[in-house]
A and B are shown apart, each in its own frame.
Chain A
């Protein structure tokens, strides 16, 4: 390749991102090289540098700005600090926030127990969760790990640890998607919906 070195470096950097192959990486790079893109280049560079200042919230382990020990949710005095929703990833917090109905706090595990990837309890923020619950005040923990094998294994493990502490432990219900068609629901989902049906 006879491209100038800075261009090659930019392409390689883009290609290192998930979901971006060499073609997309070149396209992005050449888009940024256009004269009109000068401002965008600066904004991007600044934004990416800004990511270095992001830290973990010391309570829930979601992301927070540097210099702030707690994230906006944990700082909010109107939220119920006796209710904790446990999720795998920070993006899961965003998803639940978008529903607009949850007024408690969160705890981000940063993954799920995965025997295949060798991720055990010590690799997740599980000890921190227990410490939070043991400190008092918490009356319910909602486990919102993914409905996958790994997510379920994590949920069961957490339940075992939390149940002896005398608090309420719940798990997100499994059911049919809104606007879905019963006929096309897969067996496992339908089975879950039947088992976890609700009295009207």
Chain B
């Protein structure tokens, strides 16, 4: 799929932007802090309905212009063409900053509205309409940083592919917040632990499908990643991906977690996962009350990369990590296309600068097969002249876009 038109209003440093967006490669060139990444952030928001970097969504709304009233509305509007559909679709997100009570001149409360083809929809109904794959700089952090980053990554990818994933995740988080609040109360003031019954059941009900989807996705990625990684390393190394669910329905109470479980876990029906997860939550209540928090569940999941059987985060070189993440991103593109039947839009933020010539060539060969690729760079000279000639180049300057050249052999 590809974007035909993108409009932004009061989004980050864009007061107003309205541009037709071409097929093929689009190079966004500009100095630092001119709004290159903000554009990618806006586009990725349409795929995941979450920012990949803002702590609060209200920070996305342009809000510092003097004399601007409260409420302030940020808007992302995109027209995009999906493969096999006759007419383009239109997706609009309104981020409305409102005062949070009387006297809140900072407009701290955020309300979101999502419109599909002009009709207001629930967020979960709009999820999956538009798909994108995002390549961020410092990508080795996915390997080395805390598990939270890997979980966020899983959530952003899987919610685009499994229609009910986002809904289950929201329900799971709501139940988790309440269960943890109750555990804290029971820890501090005591009380009837039977109050946990309902929350245990809710956690199991929504957590089980999350575990099942993550297991399925990671099992499929692992099969795909061998090929893509072999290709990148010229068959020298074997990369494995293993899912480490914080609660494993087959290894209850045991610490032994083998990569092989990836495939085994996909054979377990979701009802059985729910049953086992529920039983484990009930069994570990005492521990949970003592700690005042829920100790097992998808909110503590992780996955890990192994290179030639060694944990990459511990033993890998920076180059090996980079290759592994690159392989994963290529798998993500492939997998998303297979599952949805549509090529996702690619968003690459300053990514090529981190790669050596060979990997860069390999990635470029891959991305040009997509219908639309957005690339940001501070330095257009870093690209091969042929590549630049075939691309559309936009110059970005303080939130203003000026098209420099259109793609050579495309229109």
Give the B-binding residues of A (Cβ under 8 A).
Answer: 21-22, 113-116, 118, 120-122, 149-150, 152-153, 156-157, 160-161, 186
Contacts and interface: CB of A to CB of B under 8 A. Distances in A.
B175 A120 contact: no
A150 B175 CA distance: 10
Interface of B: 102, 122, 174-175, 177-182, 185, 189, 191-192, 194-195, 197-199, 201-202
Given A149-B174, A157-B197, 9 more contacts: A115-B178, A115-B185, A115-B195, A120-B195, A121-B195, A156-B197, A157-B198, A160-B194, A161-B194
9 contacts: A115-B178, A116-B178, A120-B185, A120-B192, A121-B195, A122-B191, A150-B178, A153-B178, A156-B198
B204 to A, nearest CB: 13
A121 B192 contact: yes
B102 A115 contact: no
A148 B177 CA distance: 15
B177 A116 contact: yes
A152 to B, nearest CB: 6
Contacts of B199: 115, 153
A115 B179 contact: yes
Nearest to B184: A115
A149 B175 contact: yes
A124 B390 CA distance: 70
B198 A116 contact: no
Nearest to A21: B102
> Nearest 8 CB-CB pairs, A to B?
A115-B182, A115-B181, A153-B198, A156-B198, A115-B178, A116-B181, A120-B191, A160-B194
A149 B194 CA distance: 16
B191 A121 contact: yes
Contacts of A149: 174-175, 178, 202
Contact of A113 (B189, B195, B201, B202): B195
A182 B184 CA distance: 41
Given A21-B102, A121-B192, A160 B197 contact: yes
Contacts of A118: 181, 185
A121 B185 CA distance: 12
A105 to B, nearest CB: 26
B137 to A, nearest CB: 38
Contacts of B195: 113, 115, 120-121, 153, 157
Nearest to B167: A187
Contacts of B189: 120
A156 B198 CA distance: 6
Nearest to A113: B195
Nearest to A117: B181
B310 to A, nearest CB: 43
A16 B342 CA distance: 55
